[in-house]
Chain A
Amino acid sequence: MLTETNTNTVTLSLSDSNRTAAALFAAVFGLALMVGVGFAQSTVVHNAAHDARHAAAFPCH
């Protein structure tokens, strides 16, 4: 399942289908969170994330 080259370096040697599934899951979940923090136009979400959006250079107002 895993190839350890040394203690702190790990290569993920999953089967291709498992790898794709894990990568897609991480990508979709990550994008959903990013849209929530950076893009959602709900006023309350906007106000809570306001400074974070300005700091990270998301289009805000």
Chain B
Amino acid sequence: MIVRILIAAILAGLVAGVFYTAAQAVKVSPLILKAETFENAGAAAATPENHPHSAEELKNPDHGHEATAPVADEGESWAPNDGIERTFYSMISNSILGVSNALLLVAAILFSKTSISVRTGIAWGAAGFVVFVLAPSIGLPPELPGTKAASVFDRQVWWTATVALTAAGLALMAFKTKWYWMALGVVLMVVPHVYGAPQPEVHGSLAPAYLVAEFVVAATVTAGLFWLATGAALGWFLPRALAPSAKDAS
């Protein structure tokens, strides 16, 4: 049973991940690449001759590049090359994310003891979007490369707490009928935003504001489609993956 559930989640996640990668090609990926041209231009402007120099090196211009440049190159870690390789690794990442999202939806479906179909799958996908994208985006909107932000760890903690509290709050509102449970659900969902997301001391972005605005909308809409696709695919695969065992049992 667990294996069948796992297979359904993996298939749903892969389908959604490939769909998400294709959907990102419309706006999200081109905007990230465009923002990186501003980021690289900013880095180049900050370091003369496109090489990182320490303050000491700048004081002693005779201290040649030749000695420092290879060290800097060795310090750079592997990253996929732009183009098909980069898209490929994004598709792998998106597919793993799709499987992870599908598994979390399966866990929620099992805990809630509800039935599953494409229809209810889409509703679960919408709930996943609210919990994992919409709620954390209120405090930490999707960011283009080159955006100033608070420390990664602080933001990860806030993101995790917000997702957990929103999931708990939404579950109370969806499955409890007593008003005080529903009220508690609202409180749980509001708390992280009253507390506030970690913010940088100074806000700023190397990419112009119109690109940032365009990216926030594109990333949010595309992530929404991803979650809906994950839920729908899970609603299609899960009953089919489990159906044969019903025949075995009868």
Chain A residues with CB under 8 Å of chain B are: 1-2, 4-5, 7-12, 14, 18-27, 29-34, 36-39, 41, 43-44, 47-61
CA distance A18 to B1 in the complex (A): 9
Distance to closest chain B CB from A55 (angstroms): 5
Chosen A-B contacts, 17 in total, with CB atoms closer than 8 Å, are A1-B1, A1-B245, A4-B246, A8-B118, A12-B110, A12-B116, A29-B103, A33-B100, A34-B97, A34-B100, A43-B78, A47-B80, A51-B93, A52-B94, A54-B143, A55-B222, A59-B156
**Contact count band on B:** 35 or more
State the Cβ distance, B114 to closest chain A Cβ, in Å: 7
Contact A2 to B104, CB < 8 A, known contacts A9-B239, A33-B96, A49-B93: no
Chain A residues positioned under 8 Å from B159 (CB to CB): 58-59
CA distance A11 to B245 in the complex (A): 13
> Which chain B residues lie closer than 8 Å to A36 at the CB level?
96
Taking CB atoms, residues of chain B closer than 8 Å to A58 are: 159
In the complex, A30 Cα to B144 Cα: how many Å? 26
How long is the Cα–Cα vector from A27 to B100 in the complex, in angstroms?
A: 9
Binds A, one of B57-65, B84-92, B168-176: B84-92
User: B133 contacts A57, CB within 8 Å?
Assistant: yes
Chain B residues at the A interface, C-beta cutoff of 8 Å: 1-2, 5-6, 9, 20, 24, 28-29, 32, 77-80, 86, 89-90, 92-94, 96-97, 99-104, 106-107, 109-111, 113-118, 120, 132-133, 136-137, 140-145, 149, 152, 155-156, 159, 219-220, 222-223, 226, 236, 238-239, 242-243, 245-246, 249
Given A26-B110, A54-B28, 20 new contacts (CB under 8 A): A2-B245, A11-B114, A11-B115, A12-B113, A23-B106, A26-B5, A27-B103, A29-B103, A30-B101, A30-B102, A30-B107, A47-B78, A48-B80, A49-B93, A55-B28, A55-B142, A56-B219, A57-B133, A57-B136, A57-B143
B47 to chain A minimum Cβ distance, whole angstroms, is 18
Q: In the complex the two chains form, what is the Cα distance from A44 to B92 in whole Å?
A: 14
Residues of chain A within 8 A (CB-CB) of B99 are 30, 33
Report chain A residues within 8 Å CB of B117: 8-10
Query: Is the beta-carbon distance between A26 and B106 smaller than 8 angstroms?
Result: yes
Q: Specify which chain B residues have a CB less than 8 angstroms from the CB of A24 in the assembled complex.
A: 107
B93 touches A54 (CB 8 A): no
A40 to chain B, nearest CB (A): 11
Q: Which residue of B lies closest to A38 (CB)?
A: B97
Q: Is A21 touching B89 in the complex (CB atoms < 8 A)?
A: no
Query: Closest CB of chain B to A30's CB: distance in Å?
Result: 3
Bound complex: CA A58 to CA B152 (Å): 10
